[in-house]
Amino acid sequence: MKYRVLVVEDNLANRELLCDWLEVQSFEVTSAENLKQGFDALDSHPPHVVLLDIQLGSEDGLSLAKRIREEPTMRHIPVIAVTAHAMVTEQERVIQAGCNACISKPVDFKLLSQQLDRWLDHVANPEARP
């Protein structure tokens, strides 16, 4: 199965780096540079997992995570926050807002791979969902 990943990241270099790495790892990738594009991508081509920058310029990326958690047909989609805010209190806020995991920038691709494996296993095996 080829998993679909939605990357929501406003920084072009970061977005391209994530997308390129994901494509090399054989994921089907859709990207968005702002919340509107992220919401549109969710509606038109729901992903198996979302990589979400929580600070999208002046927009709060966590509103996308909140929408996913409130929508019954989407609430199972794992959301992995990718953030420059590495403080523990910020990571706790991100998890409480509906993200399943939080990865600090610059992205450690080994850690990202582990998180993708963990959360996509829950997508493939619904009975294993936490």
Measured CA to CA, the distance from residue 98 to residue 115 in angstroms comes to 16
The confidence score (pLDDT) of residue 120 equals: 92
Measured CA to CA, the distance from residue 1 to residue 121 in angstroms comes to 12
Domain count, the chain: 1
* Residue 128 CB burial class (10 angstroms; 0-12, 13-18, ≥19): exposed
Q: How far is the CA of 6 from the CAs of 49, 53, 90, 127, 128, in angstroms?
A: 6, 11, 22, 23, 22
Cβ atoms within 10 Å, residue 27: 20
Is the pTM of the predicted complex or chain greater than 0.85?
yes
Q: What is the mean pLDDT of residues 43-55?
A: 94
The confidence score (pLDDT) of residue 129 equals: 47
Q: Which residue has the higher pLDDT, 59 or 18?
A: 18
Residue that is written with structure tokens 């702002």 in the block: 34
Residue 87 above 90 pLDDT? no
Structure tokens at 27: 């994921």
Q: Which of 10-19, 48-57, 64-73, 115-124 bottoms out in mean pLDDT, i.e. has the lowest? A: 115-124
What mean pLDDT, rounded, does the chain reach? 91
**Can you give the residue range of the structural domain that contains 87?**
4-128
Q: Which of 44-48, 86-90, 107-111 bottoms out in mean pLDDT, i.e. has the lowest? A: 86-90
Q: What is the mean pLDDT of residues 118-123?
A: 86
Q: What is the mean pLDDT of residues 64-85?
A: 93
User: pLDDT band for position 127 (50/70/90)?
Assistant: low
The CATH number of whichever domain residue 123 belongs to comes to 3.40.50.2300
Residue 125 above 90 pLDDT? no
